[in-house]
Structure 1
Amino acid sequence: MSTSNYLNRDLSWIEFNWRVLEEAQDTATPLLERVKFLSIVSTNLDEFMSVRFAGIMDQLKAGYLKKDFTGYIPSGLIKRITKRTTRMVTEQYKTFRDISRQLAKEGIIFASYDELSVNQQKLMDTYFHDIIFPVLTPMAVDQSRPFPLVHNQSLYLATLLLKEGDDPEDEPYIAIVQVPSNLSRLVRVPIRTNSKKQEFILLEDLIQRHIKTLFSGYIPLSVHGFRVTRNADLTLNEEGAEDLLEEIEKELRRRRWGSPIRLEVQKGMHPYALALLKEEFEIEENVMEIDGPIDISYLMKLSNVVLGHDNLRFADIEPAYPKEFDVIDDFFQVLRQKDVLIYHPYETFEVVSDFIAQAAEDPQVLAIKMTLYRVSGQSNLIQSLARAAESGKQVTVLVELKARFDEERNIAWARKLEKSGCHVVYGLVGLKTHAKITLVVRQEHDVLRRYVHVGTGNYNDITSRYYTDIGLFTSHPTIGEDASALFNEITGYSAPQHLQAFGVAPTDMKQKLFEIIRNEAKNATEGKPAHIIAKMNSLSNQEMIDELYSASQAGVKIDLIVRGVCCLRPGVVGLSENITVRSIVDRFLEHSRIFYFENDGDPSIWLSSADWMTRNLTRRIELMCPVFDKEIKNNLIRILQITLSDNVKARHLQTNGLYVTVPNPENPRRSQFEAMNIKAWKSI
């Protein structure tokens, strides 16, 4: 075990992805849901490789030799990552084969062409010639045709060919064929006569079977799949960009040409083809031989295409519409009387859409201001904002163009909003705007009243069904004033102001958190009640960890709920023995950020968009909002208590950096399933 007081961020992330893989291996989870977790392992690893691993490779190439605060230099870290991810992929495909066998017992079969009946083969032949063949483009590689552009994380077939009549000992020809990404990789095979089995064949297997139709006059010697992962991290020159939108569009085009950092090849690839690919992409070390289909992220769609078999899925849940707004459907009337807490996905995101829709239609609403980081492809929010602007309201939308891998969608939304008359702002130079906040200004008799929604997650109706997030509706005047000041700072030249309630990164959030943590430490040393509960996605900022270590040494009890990366090492005698860390990976993605501080018996509770990572605290506009309403405080405490009581899906971080489950079969408690019973956490 490392002697460092800190766990490495990237190795901690790998441990998180292992926890996702364990969900795919959990036989207590419905089979088609296990398939989804297996898919998530792939998509997670793709992003990690294209961003985090690519960044470490850049450091290595630049000759960077300085150790990070966890004691690693780039070369040593790359070796550890490669070893762990290679083992993870091996285990992932072992799990894939096991799940495939179990699916086959249920009549859901991944078939090869040779396993099909004669009639099924004929139908698949027709499908290939009518649907697949017209969109294929074989690309030869020779002296007159250089190696073509291989797109990032696209699947290709490397084909070795021998010209008919040539000597078999001659050097083979090579060509590549891109597997079309606009066709489903899972091809449903027509059902056999008198059979209820559902069979699927992979798109690349059909292409491979018919590869000779693409190369008349040649004999295929071998056909194997491969995929390249490129450096996909955008490097923007914001200072020199006259138009940030155009600059990001340029970078998105450059992303296709990012330097290759990982090569995946199908097991058994011909040595000649493999050597050529490694030479072309200048990759020697990070080459993964895949014993199965390359890139099994397509499995995410399996549950949607399998007919029936509801017993192999989680039971559907119908998110509740908050009762506070169900009795009285006027949001403004309700919020003048009380604040309202929303807990997604147990309560529907429709309430947020309806709030914006009412504000858009209400003639007394003068202005709507909103931040958008990630929105869905068919967002009702965008339509409401456009209608509001078209009706003459002042609508200001801060669209974050630098939301990784959502840049293109956000550019499209920004243009649509601008055409509707909205004021679209792209944020501040050098900072991503990650705060989630909406401000509605309404004329009520002789006064202006502000209504605010603050969230821990994105304004995205799709992800709100799968992510656990908190939303707070309020008309508290202090929060309203701070919201106005925050938008003025982001959209104008207003200098950072002294905010009454909010903590805002990068200006004062970190320092405010330090002061609150130090106050808990002071209370502990004076024998007063001192307790911190912090729920977040990631914890990796060294200064923040050191503050928590100091509080632990002072006697503060600290319970951390960190879904993903955690660089804090708990349970170290004399340093962190008062700190526990647990991670919950379950049906929904834990995403809410809730911070609880005992404060000598008068708890302070905060909702935030920010994890305790360096990027969130220093390079993003983030928001931390206090909760004033006593009833909502109690509701949030109950949510935290339910989460801390989980002994089914919670895994506890050990001092050595590994995670273990602490089950209690006599009294099993699964926090997400308990939260589905809204009465368990919400007082109405």
Structure 2
Amino acid sequence: MKETAPREAAAANHYLNRDLSWVEFNWRVLEEAQDPTTPLLERVKFLSIVSSNLDEFMSVRVAGIVDQIKAGYTKKDFTGYTPAGLFKRVMKRAAKMVAEQYRTSREITRALAREGIILTSYDELNATQRKAMDEYYHEIVFPVLTPMAVDQARPFPLVHTQSLYLAVVLMKEGEDPEVEPYFAILQVPSNLNRFIEVPCRTNSKKHEYILLETLIEHHIHTLFSGYTPVSVHGFRLTRNADLTLNEEGAEDLLEEIEIQLRRRRWGAPVRLEVQRGIHPYALQQLIEEFEISDNIFEIDGPIDLTFFMKLSGSLQGYDHLRYPPIKPVYPAELENEDDLFLKLRQQDVLVYHPYESFDAVTDFVTQAAHDPHVLAIKMTLYRVSGNSPLIQGLAQAAESGKQVTVVVELKARFDEERNIAWARKLEQSGCHVVYGLVGLKTHAKITLVVRQEPDGLRRYVHVGTGNYNDNTAKLYTDVGLFTTDKIIGEDASALFNEVTGYSAPHNWKAFGVAPTDLMDKLIEKIRREARNASEGKPARIIAKFNSLSNQQMVDELYAASQAGVKIDLIIRGVCCLRPGVPGLSENITVRSIVDRFLEHSRIFYFENGGSEEIYLASADWMTRNLTRRVELMCPAFNKGIQQSLTRILQLNLDDNVKARQLQSNGMYERMTPAAGEPPLRSQFEAMRISSWKTKAREF
């Protein structure tokens, strides 16, 4: 019995913790904000992304850890951490990252000032500017403000998650200063611009801005007549944002989610951010109200830097401080084709976003909507844009009498309200809207078009690695496959039948589908590579995805490495596998690419003894994707497309500018060109190679 603990500790040391690995990912995003070779306004965006990433992490992952601690859960996870131990470690690392983020913010703010973009204080304004800001405050801001006193007669008001507030400590005029002060809070209006442009100084071309909370703080006395403000400091609360759904007991899933969205406002407090120097009395009031004492971040600067994203996008005349705009090309195979279906009957087509335009997907759906020979359109929607042309196309198809079935995932976190609105619009247009399977999120990305043709019905299928979102398709790297392959078409029909109706699990001929058999198929392919390596046959695995956290998948990769399989993993975010450990994982490399676009493609390559197999998928190698979601893995049968996908993987493996390699200690080291080796930045190379598909055939 005495040896059990050391054995468990040794086993746990084989794995990296998921949440700590995520923190390291956000550090890599922060490094992009710090990189002086990144254009200044792009650095501003990365700084904002660090904040929005951390907000979600706190409201979901850390919230879950806090729930476990409150429930008295003390069991260690497979990486060796108890919830309490993990919470302490995560908070320590996150606090260090936030401090570094604000140091970077001050550095960037100084760099912006040198370019004539100035974040100023009220005291630095001249008389003309102060007059203009005073007028703006009294005419625009003051009427919107609602000061809320906290005392025996007026209980603490509801504080909304991730909204900026001011904590105000006051003394009554003429009252003994030794008397306990008065306390009030004030929400900074989220429907007004956080940054306000100040009129230019005479003969100046500089752009000056003042933050909304700074303007309110200067005029705080206008809200409390008869009282003297002692201190005014910002604070922000993050609540648990995970929804607790009773899907089986809900008569209407849409209504149940709407109820839970309203309850999200009252989620348990998880994190409190306070402005440095906050009055002790104000801090004590907040701690007592929110019952939070061990997850408080003291912020040395403006709380919530997500506003930087809007500032960066709104500035005119500063294109020299941004990346040149990308101009996605229309896929050459489909260009100048009036009839996409005619072309797709002739050949499969691979599209690589954002280098190739998402318009090809939109045109596919739109043409199907207007084609009199199309009988049915079926599609999954997980996250769509605010004004999606795909929604319009599907609605038009239904209105013209076609059978249109849309699987809308209402549980897509933080997009629930938007998806509810789309679901209602589609239903009003006559579409059959399905909300997926109980207990599972539908994360697969697939469209099926059924068309009547002279030789019978034909199925046209689009399978992708990313969401059907025309906006994110400009910012994320994803691949999509158009095909009329008969086997893939049959599997596509079976998949929709399984999701929308009552169907026994299908015997998939081409697809791997979670949660039924995707994980089993991946494991079988990894084990096949291990057998081939043991027998001296060609054996290699290259896999690109966003996260790896499933213990069994990690163990299978370890076993394949021990059998001699060369394994290259391209993982943007979380990785629980510890590479480069002698006797365990010395044949495995893990690299992460964080660059201008969000790496989002899922592509899996298996050498298979020389008979190469390559797949595109919607799934990461996480437990939730493999066991609790409807996910899809689709093979590329066409040799040319296989080579194109292999070229994408090779570009990623060759990156020596924006790639970081994971070390066995859990840290990442930036890769640099070897002596005499030219620098290669995979995303820029993909943009530069306009004929990358042709070049892929030379690989």
Question: TM-score normalised to the size of structure 2?
Answer: 0.97
Name the stretch that deviates more: 213-222 or 376-385: 213-222
Shift of 1:478: 0.6
Distance 2:100 2:659 in 1: 22
Shift of 1:269: 0.4
- Deviations, residues 61-88 of structure 1 (Å, cap 9, x unaligned): 0010111000000010001001000000
Contact 1:24 1:35 in 2 (8 A): yes
Query: Which residue pairs with 2:218 in the alignment?
Result: 209
Query: Which residue pairs with 1:421 in the alignment?
Result: 430
Query: Which residue pairs with 1:180 in the alignment?
Result: 189
Aligned residue for 1:600, secondary structure, equals helix
Structure 2: tracts of 5 or more residues without a match: 1-8
1:40 aligns with 2:49: yes
Distance 1:381 1:570 in 2: 42
User: Which one-letter code corresponds to 2:250 in the other structure?
Assistant: A
1:669 aligns with 2:692: no
Match among 556, 560, 563 for residue 569 of structure 2? 560
Sequence identity percentage: 74
Name the stretch that deviates more: 236-245 or 162-171: 162-171
1:97 aligns with 2:106: yes
Shift of 1:465: 0.6
Contact 1:198 1:306 in 2 (8 A): no
Query: Which residue pairs with 2:151 in the alignment?
Result: 142
- Deviations, residues 534-574 of structure 1 (Å, cap 9, x unaligned): 00000000000111001000000000000000000000111
1:512 aligns with 2:521: yes
Aligned residue for 2:449, secondary structure, equals strand
User: Which one-letter code corresponds to 2:694 in the other structure?
Assistant: S
Q: How do 1:353-372 and structure 2 match up within 5 A?
A: 353-372=362-381
1:385 aligns with 2:399: no
Structure 1: tracts of 5 or more residues without a match: none
Match among 455, 459, 463 for residue 464 of structure 2? 455
1:74 aligns with 2:74: no
Shift of 1:681: 2.5
Query: Which residue pairs with 2:283 in the alignment?
Result: 274
Distance 2:100 2:313 in 1: 25
Count of residue correspondences:
684
Q: How do 1:121-136 and structure 2 match up within 5 A?
A: 121-136=130-145
User: Which one-letter code corresponds to 2:682 in the other structure?
Assistant: S
Contact 1:346 1:678 in 2 (8 A): no
Shift of 1:309: 2.0
Aligned residue for 2:397, secondary structure, equals helix
Distance 2:374 2:28 in 1: 47
Shift of 1:601: 1.1
User: Which one-letter code corresponds to 2:498 in the other structure?
Assistant: E
User: Which one-letter code corresponds to 1:676 in the other structure?
Assistant: M
Shift of 1:602: 1.4
Contact 1:39 1:296 in 2 (8 A): yes
1:340 aligns with 2:326: no
Contact 1:636 1:681 in 2 (8 A): no
Match among 513, 520, 543 for residue 534 of structure 1? 543
Match among 609, 634, 658 for residue 618 of structure 2? 609
Aligned residue for 1:683, secondary structure, equals helix
- Deviations, residues 456-494 of structure 1 (Å, cap 9, x unaligned): 000001111100000100111110000000000000001
Query: Which residue pairs with 2:607 in the alignment?
Result: 598
Aligned residue for 2:556, secondary structure, equals helix
User: Which one-letter code corresponds to 2:44 in the other structure?
Assistant: V
Distance 2:277 2:649 in 1: 50
1:112 aligns with 2:121: yes
- Deviations, residues 244-289 of structure 1 (Å, cap 9, x unaligned): 0011001000000000011000000000000010000000110110
Shift of 1:325: 1.1
User: Which one-letter code corresponds to 2:607 in the other structure?
Assistant: E
Quick one: structure 1 residues 41 and 364, their matched pair in 2 at CA, closer, same or farther if it must change by over 3 Å?
same
Distance 2:48 2:312 in 1: 12
Query: Which residue pairs with 1:644 in the alignment?
Result: 653
Distance 2:692 2:328 in 1: 15
Distance 1:306 1:612 in 2: 40
Query: Which residue pairs with 1:374 in the alignment?
Result: 383
Distance 2:316 2:646 in 1: 41
User: Which one-letter code corresponds to 1:488 in the other structure?
Assistant: N
Distance 1:677 1:602 in 2: 31
- Deviations, residues 423-479 of structure 1 (Å, cap 9, x unaligned): 000000000000000000000024000000000000001111100000100111110
Distance 1:497 1:650 in 2: 40
Distance 2:458 2:619 in 1: 27
- Deviations, residues 112-168 of structure 1 (Å, cap 9, x unaligned): 011111101110111111111111111111111100000000000011111122122
Query: Which residue pairs with 1:325 in the alignment?
Result: 334
Match among 621, 626, 636 for residue 627 of structure 1? 636
- Deviations, residues 291-334 of structure 1 (Å, cap 9, x unaligned): 00000010011222222122211011111111111132311001
Query: Which residue pairs with 2:403 in the alignment?
Result: 394
Distance 2:325 2:436 in 1: 39
Distance 2:139 2:455 in 1: 69
Aligned residue for 2:608, secondary structure, equals coil
1:467 aligns with 2:476: yes
- Deviations, residues 560-596 of structure 1 (Å, cap 9, x unaligned): 0000000000001111000000000000000000000
Shift of 1:93: 0.2
Aligned residue for 1:159, secondary structure, equals strand
Aligned residue for 2:334, secondary structure, equals helix
Distance 1:110 1:601 in 2: 60
Query: Which residue pairs with 1:198 in the alignment?
Result: 207
Shift of 1:680: 5.4
